[in-house]
Chains A and B, each alone.
Chain A
Amino acid sequence: MKQPTKKTVLLTAASCATLIGVGAGIATAAVSAHKAIPLKDPAGLAITKNADGSAKAFSIKTTCFGTAGCHGDAAAGTSSVLKYTYNDIEKHSYHAQLGANEIRGFNPFNIDSTDAFRTGAGPQGKNWVQSPGHVGSW
Chain B
Amino acid sequence: MYKDGAGAVYNATTAQFETVLFGEVASGSSRVANVVGGSTKYYEPYNFTDAATFAQKADNSVAGEMRDCGECHVGGGAMEYMIDDSATVSGTYDASKRKSLREYVFGGAVTAFNALIDIFNETPANRGNVVVQDYSQTGVLEMDCLICHQNDYSWDKRKEAVRKGEFDASRAVGSKLAFSAKDGVNVFYNSTSVTATPAGLVANLEYKIVGKPTSNQCSSCHLGNSIETKNATTGTVTVTGGEKYQVDWKKRGEMWSQNGTILDVHGAIGCMGCHERTGATAGSTAAVGVSGNIGDNKLGLCDPAKGGASPFDAMWNKMDKVEFKDCSGCHEYTTAPAFATFGAPSSKGAHDRAGLTAKIAYDKAGAQVSHIDLIDCTACHIRKDGFSGGAFVDGSGADEEGRLAVHDTEYVAKGDMANGVALHWQNGKIYAANLLTSFFWRDMNGLKTANGGFDANNDGREAGMDPLLQTHVANINRLNGLHALTADGIVNAAEITTQQSAIAAGIRGQLGNGTTQATNAFLPKLSFLMVPFKASHNIASADRAWGKNGCKECHAAGAGFYNGAYPINGNMDGKFSFDSNQVTTFTKVNGLVDITDSHPNVVTKDGTRSLPIPILTKFDTPYVQTATPGQTLRNIDRSEVLYENTFQTVKQDWVASIQGGAIAAVCNAASPFYCDNATYIFNAAKKGATSTLGWTLKVDAKDSNGVITSRTAQVGNDMVTSVDQLVTALGSIGGTYFTVTAVDASTGLPAVSPAVNNSIKLAAADGYTIRINKLSDVGPFGLKGALWVNAPIVRGTNSYATRAQYVTYLNSIDAAAFGVGQTPVAGIAAINQETGTTAAPLVKDLSYNLNATGTPAAGAKFQWATNAGTAAVIADAAAASTTINFSKAGTYRVALTVTNVDGATATSYKLVNVTNPVYISVTAPATTSTTTTVPATATKPAYTYTTVITKVPVTLAAGTPTFDKVRFFWGDGSASTTITADALTTANAAGGQAHQYNRYSKYFKTATGKYTYKTTIQLFSGSTLVSSQSVVVEVP
Q: Which residues of A contact B (CB under 8 A)?
A: 2-5, 8, 19, 21-40, 42, 46-50, 52-61, 64, 78-81, 84, 86, 88-113, 115, 118-122, 124-128, 130, 132-138
Let me know if B8 is at the binding interface, CB within 8 A: yes
Let me know if B827 is at the binding interface, CB within 8 A: no
With a 10 A CB-CB cut-off, give which of B62, B142, B289, B465 has the most chain A CB atoms.
B142
Chain A residues within 8 Å of B28, by CB: none
Let me know if B457 is at the binding interface, CB within 8 A: yes
Contact A61 B142 (CB under 8 A): yes
With A39-B203, A42-B139 already in contact, the answer to whether A111 and B62 are too (CB < 8 A) is no
Q: Interface majority SS on A: helix, strand, loop or mixed?
A: loop
- Interface 9-residue window, one of B12-20, B648-656, B763-771, B779-787: B12-20
Using CB atoms, name the residue of chain A closest to B78.
A100
Let me know if B411 is at the binding interface, CB within 8 A: no
Chain A residues within 8 Å of B463, by CB: 125
Alpha-carbon distance A47/B151, docked complex (angstroms): 24
Contact A31 B202 (CB under 8 A): no
Nearest chain B CB to A58's CB is how many angstroms away?
6
A sample of 5 inter-chain contacts (CB < 8 A) reads: A24-B281, A38-B200, A61-B143, A88-B301, A112-B698
Chain B residues within 8 Å of A99, by CB: 314-316
Chain A residues within 8 Å of B465, by CB: 125
Contact B2 A103 (CB under 8 A): yes
Contact A112 B712 (CB under 8 A): yes
Chain B residues within 8 Å of A33, by CB: 206, 209
Alpha-carbon distance A53/B188, docked complex (angstroms): 7
Alpha-carbon distance A130/B20, docked complex (angstroms): 13
Using CB atoms, name the residue of chain A closest to B169.
A57
With A58-B172, A105-B20, A121-B600 already in contact, the answer to whether A132 and B77 are too (CB < 8 A) is no
With A3-B199, A101-B93, A134-B315 already in contact, the answer to whether A35 and B204 are too (CB < 8 A) is yes
Contact A59 B142 (CB under 8 A): yes
Chain B residues within 8 Å of A3, by CB: 199
Let me know if B518 is at the binding interface, CB within 8 A: no
Alpha-carbon distance A15/B815, docked complex (angstroms): 62
Chain B residues within 8 Å of A127, by CB: 457, 459, 461
With A56-B186, A94-B300 already in contact, the answer to whether A130 and B1 are too (CB < 8 A) is yes
With A110-B19, A128-B60 already in contact, the answer to whether A134 and B73 are too (CB < 8 A) is yes
Chain B residues within 8 Å of A119, by CB: 775
Could you say which of B7, B80, B200, B300 contacts A46, with CB atoms under 8 Å apart? B200
Alpha-carbon distance A135/B1022, docked complex (angstroms): 94
Nearest chain B CB to A135's CB is how many angstroms away?
5
Contact B74 A95 (CB under 8 A): yes
Contact A57 B210 (CB under 8 A): no
Alpha-carbon distance A122/B212, docked complex (angstroms): 35
Alpha-carbon distance A32/B102, docked complex (angstroms): 34
Chain B residues within 8 Å of A46, by CB: 199-201
Nearest chain A CB to B22's CB is how many angstroms away?
6
With A57-B186, A106-B2 already in contact, the answer to whether A98 and B316 are too (CB < 8 A) is yes
Contact A138 B294 (CB under 8 A): no
Interface residues of B in 310-324 (CB under 8 A from A): 311, 314-317, 319
Chain B residues within 8 Å of A34, by CB: 203-206, 208-209
Alpha-carbon distance A64/B302, docked complex (angstroms): 15
Alpha-carbon distance A104/B92, docked complex (angstroms): 10
With A34-B208, A134-B315 already in contact, the answer to whether A47 and B73 are too (CB < 8 A) is no
Using CB atoms, name the residue of chain A closest to B187.
A57
Known: A79-B285, A96-B74. 19 other contacts (CB 8 A): A24-B281, A27-B214, A38-B202, A42-B168, A54-B186, A57-B186, A90-B76, A90-B80, A92-B289, A92-B300, A98-B78, A98-B316, A104-B5, A107-B7, A111-B776, A112-B8, A127-B461, A133-B314, A135-B78
Nearest chain B CB to A78's CB is how many angstroms away?
6
Let me know if B197 is at the binding interface, CB within 8 A: yes
Alpha-carbon distance A2/B387, docked complex (angstroms): 55
Chain A residues within 8 Å of B294, by CB: 101-102
With A58-B177, A89-B143, A106-B46 already in contact, the answer to whether A111 and B599 are too (CB < 8 A) is no
Chain A residues within 8 Å of B80, by CB: 90
Could you say which of B284, B299, B589, B696 contacts A79, with CB atoms under 8 Å apart? B284
With a 10 A CB-CB cut-off, give which of A56, A102, A118, A136 has the most chain B CB atoms.
A56
With a 10 A CB-CB cut-off, give which of B69, B95, B151, B284 has the most chain A CB atoms.
B95
With a 10 A CB-CB cut-off, give which of A5, A110, A119 has the most chain B CB atoms.
A110
Contact B290 A84 (CB under 8 A): yes
Contact A101 B95 (CB under 8 A): yes
